[in-house]
C-alpha cells in the first residue's frame, strides 16, 4: 500500500482532535500538511452529548448537530470543513503500530503514515466487566458508552425494551447521567455501586445525599455497597438479571456499565515516558520524545495551580490541552514562546433539570451551603473546600452563568476563609463579592 506523509498527524478523532484541528486552521496550517487519523467513522464530535440529549425521547441530538466545536460555543466543524481547510480526515482507520523513532504509524489494513510532528489524542477506552471475567458479562444488551456506535446500540435497546427495566452498574458520571436519561425514556432504573455514596471521587456525603434523594424521587432505585458479580441471560442471549455480591438478583432488560476508563497508551509503551497512568508531558504537552505531544485523557501534565503532576479526564481539559499543544508547536517553529498551561480543573454535569459545576480541588475541610433538600423547588446549593485557611474548591448546583463564573474565580484566586461557620452562612454571597 502507498505510504502517506504529513507534516502533522493527530492520532485520535475525539474532542481533542477537533479542537486541535480548529487551532491548526487558526495558526495557518497549509493544505495537505495535517491529517487526523481516527478509528471512528465520523468527524470529531462533542462526546458529552452521548450521555445526555442523544438519548432523549424529545429534543434528541443527532449529528451533524453536535460536531465540535459547538460544546464551547464555537463554530460547528462539519465533515466538509476539514477538506475545505486542506485537512485530511482519515476515518475508520485503526492504528495498530506506532514506531516513534522512525515517525511511522501503521494501520490494521497495512497502510503506512509518516509524520514530522505527532499529537497523541487517543483518549480513553471503557473498562469492561468481561476484562475481569465476570460471569455472563458477554450477554446481549449489556452495554457501555464511549463512542457514537455505543450510543446507537443503547438507543436501539431503549426502543426495543419500551417501559422495560434497566440496571446501571456504577455511580459516577455515566451512572448518574444515564440513569436520568433512561428514566426520561420511562425505563425502570436501578443504579448499583460499591461505594457508600454516588460520585465519591468528587462529591462529599452531603452533596451526594441531595442527588440520591432527588434521583429516588424520580423513581431511580439506588443499591449501594455492592457490585455486580454475574448475569443471567434468556435463551436468545439477552440479559435478564444482574446477580449482586450481596446475594440479591435484579431483573434487567438492559444493563449499562459505567465503571471508569483507562487511557489508550498501549501503542506507545516503552517508547515514551509515562507517569500516573498517562504519557508524561510538560506545560506545552511535549512528551519525552521530540516532536511528539500528548493531549486530553492520555496526558499527565504539570498542574501549575497546585504545583503537582496530574492526569485529568474531562472534556474541558481535552479541548484546552489540544489548543495549547498546537499553539506550542507553532511557537516553537517560529522561535517564539508561549505561557505554560495554567489550568483550573473544571467538571460539570447535567441530568433531569439539574446542572452542577465544580472548579478547583476537592481536598481539605468542606462546608455545605444553600438549600440542599432534594424535595425543594429551587435546589440551589453548593460546597466549598478549604485547605490551609484558603478556599481551593467550589461546587454549585443550579447556578446562573454569573454565579458559576464567581465560584470559578474563588477556586482560581483561593481567598482566605478563617471561619467555616461564617463561610457556610455566607454561602454563595462569599463567591459573588470576590
pLDDT in tens, 395-418: 999 999 999 999 999 999 999 998
Q: What is the pLDDT of residue 132?
A: 87
What are the residues facing 294 on neighbouring strands?
Answer: 120
Which cell is 29 given?
Answer: 496550517
77 pLDDT higher than 90: yes
pLDDT in tens, 63-76: 999 999 999 999 99
Residue 339 falls within a domain, yes or no? no
pLDDT in tens, 178-192: 999 999 999 999 999
Q: Which one of 239, 259, 279 terminates a domain?
A: 259
Same domain membership, residue 272 and residue 209: no
To 5 degrees, how large is the angle CA 57–CA 200–CA 170? Answer: 45
Distance CA 280, CA 287 (A): 6
Same domain membership, residue 111 and residue 44: yes
ω into residue 391 within 30 of 0, thus cis? no
Helix axis angle, 173-184 to 205-217, nearest 10°:
20
The residue among 343, 306, 308 whose CA lies nearest residue 325 is 343
Whole domain around residue 133: which residue ranges?
129-259
Looking at residue 188, which CATH number applies to its domain? 3.50.50.60
**121 membership: H or E segment, kind and range:** none
To 5 degrees, how large is the angle CA 8–CA 9–CA 13? Answer: 140
pLDDT in tens, 232-290: 999 999 999 999 999 999 999 999 999 999 999 999 999 999 999 999 999 999 999 99
Mean pLDDT of the chain: 97
Cβ atoms within 10 Å, residue 111 = 16
pLDDT in tens, 178-232: 999 999 999 999 999 999 999 999 999 999 999 999 999 999 999 999 999 999 9
**350 membership: H or E segment, kind and range:** strand 346-351
375 within 8 A of 368, measured Cβ to Cβ: no
Same domain membership, residue 310 and residue 234: no
36 pLDDT higher than 90: yes
Q: What is the pLDDT of residue 418?
A: 87
Q: Which one of 333, 361, 394 terminates a domain?
A: 333
Which cell is 54 given?
Answer: 442523544
pLDDT in tens, 149-171: 999 999 999 999 999 999 999 99
Residue 77 falls within a domain, yes or no? yes
173 phi and psi angles, rounded to 5 deg: -50, -60
Q: What is the pLDDT of residue 377?
A: 86
Q: What is the pLDDT of residue 420?
A: 96
Distance CA 146, CA 36 (A): 19
Q: Which one of 221, 244, 259 terminates a domain?
A: 259
Q: Name the band, by pLDDT with cuts 50, 70 and 90, for residue 148.
A: very high
Looking at residue 389, which CATH number applies to its domain? 3.30.390.30
Same domain membership, residue 309 and residue 413: no
Count: domains in the chain: 3
Cβ atoms within 10 Å, residue 360 = 25
Across 12-29, average pLDDT = 98
pLDDT in tens, 342-386: 999 999 999 999 999 999 999 999 999 999 999 998 889 999 999
Which cell is 312 given?
Answer: 485529568
Same domain membership, residue 47 and residue 33: yes
To 5 degrees, how large is the angle CA 165–CA 171–CA 172? Answer: 125
Q: What is the pLDDT of residue 378?
A: 85
Residue 346 falls within a domain, yes or no? no
Same domain membership, residue 279 and residue 202: no
Residue 343 falls within a domain, yes or no? no
1 pLDDT higher than 80: no
On whether the pTM is more than 0.85, the answer is: yes
- Concatenating the DSSP letter of every residue in 134-159 gives -BTTTSBTEE--SSHHHHHHHHHHHH
Q: What secondary structure letter does DSSP report for 115?
A: E
- Using DSSP bridges, classify how beta strands 365-370 and 354-360 pair: parallel, antiparallel or unpaired: unpaired
Distance CA 211, CA 374 (A): 7
What are the residues facing 367 on neighbouring strands?
Answer: 384
- What are the E-state strand segments in 86-138? 88-90, 95-99, 104-107, 112-120, 124-126
Same domain membership, residue 69 and residue 118: yes
Q: What is the pLDDT of residue 275?
A: 97
Same domain membership, residue 147 and residue 213: yes
Residue 348 falls within a domain, yes or no? no
Same domain membership, residue 278 and residue 208: no
| Cβ partners under 8 Å of residue 146, min gap 6 | 47, 124, 125, 126, 261
Same domain membership, residue 405 and residue 301: no
Same domain membership, residue 274 and residue 229: no
Same domain membership, residue 172 and residue 243: yes
Amino acid at each position: 500500500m502507498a505510504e502517506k506523509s504529513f507534516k502533522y498527524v493527530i492520532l485520535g478523532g475525539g474532542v481533542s482532535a477537533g479542537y486541535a484541528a480548529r487551532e491548526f486552521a487558526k495558526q495557518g496550517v497549509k493544505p495537505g500538511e495535517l491529517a487526523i487519523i481516527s478509528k471512528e467513522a465520523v468527524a470529531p464530535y462533542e462526546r458529552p452529548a452521548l450521555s445526555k440529549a442523544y438519548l432523549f425521547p424529545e429534543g434528541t441530538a443527532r449529528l451533524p448537530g453536535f460536531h465540535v466545536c459547538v460544546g464551547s460555543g464555537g463554530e460547528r466543524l462539519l465533515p466538509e470543513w476539514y477538506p475545505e481547510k486542506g485537512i485530511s480526515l482519515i476515518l475508520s482507520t485503526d492504528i495498530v503500530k506506532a514506531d516513534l523513532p522512525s515517525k511511522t504509524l501503521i494501520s490494521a489494513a497495512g497502510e503506512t503514515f509518516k509524520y514530522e510532528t505527532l499529537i497523541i489524542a487517543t483518549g480513553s477506552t471503557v473498562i469492561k466487566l468481561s476484562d475481569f471475567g465476570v460471569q455472563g458479562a458477554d450477554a446481549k444488551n449489556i452495554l457501555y458508552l464511549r463512542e457514537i456506535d455505543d450510543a446507537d446500540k443503547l438507543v436501539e435497546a431503549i426502543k426495543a425494551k419500551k417501559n422495560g427495566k434497566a440496571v446501571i452498574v456504577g455511580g459516577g458520571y455515566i451512572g448518574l447521567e444515564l440513569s436520568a436519561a433512561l428514566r426520561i425514556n420511562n425505563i425502570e432504573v436501578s443504579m448499583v455501586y460499591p461505594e457508600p455514596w454516588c460520585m465519591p471521587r468528587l462529591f462529599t456525603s452531603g452533596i451526594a445525599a441531595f442527588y440520591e434523594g432527588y434521583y429516588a424521587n424520580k423513581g431511580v432505585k439506588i443499591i449501594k455497597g455492592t457490585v455486580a458479580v454475574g448475569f443471567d441471560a434468556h435463551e436468545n442471549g439477552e440479559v435478564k438479571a444482574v446477580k449482586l455480591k450481596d446475594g440479591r438478583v435484579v431483573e434487567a432488560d438492559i444493563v449499562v456499565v459505567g465503571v471508569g476508563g483507562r487511557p489508550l497508551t498501549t501503542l506507545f509503551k516503552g517508547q515514551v515516558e509515562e507517569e500516573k497512568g498517562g504519557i508524561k508531558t510538560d506545560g506545552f504537552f511535549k512528551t519525552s520524545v521530540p516532536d511528539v505531544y500528548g493531549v486530553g485523557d492520555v496526558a499527565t501534565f504539570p498542574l501549575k495551580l497546585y504545583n503537582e503532576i496530574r492526569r485529568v479526564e474531562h472534556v474541558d481539559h481535552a479541548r484546552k490541552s489540544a489548543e495549547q499543544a498546537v499553539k506550542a508547536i507553532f511557537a516553537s517553529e517560529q522561535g517564539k514562546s508561549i505561557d505554560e498551561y495554567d489550568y483550573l480543573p473544571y467538571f460539570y454535569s447535567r441530568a433531569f433539570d439539574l446542572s452542577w459545576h465544580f472548579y478547583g480541588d476537592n481536598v481539605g475541610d468542606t462546608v455545605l451551603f444553600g438549600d440542599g433538600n432534594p424535595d425543594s423547588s429551587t435546589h440551589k446549593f453548593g460546597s466549598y473546600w478549604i485547605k490551609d485557611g484558603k478556599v481551593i474548591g467550589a461546587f454549585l448546583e443550579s447556578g446562573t452563568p454569573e454565579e458559576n463564573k464567581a465560584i470559578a474565580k474563588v477556586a482560581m484566586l483561593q481567598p482566605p476563609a478563617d471561619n467555616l461557620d461564617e463561610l457556610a452562612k455566607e454561602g454563595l454571597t462569599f463567591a459573588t463579592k470576590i
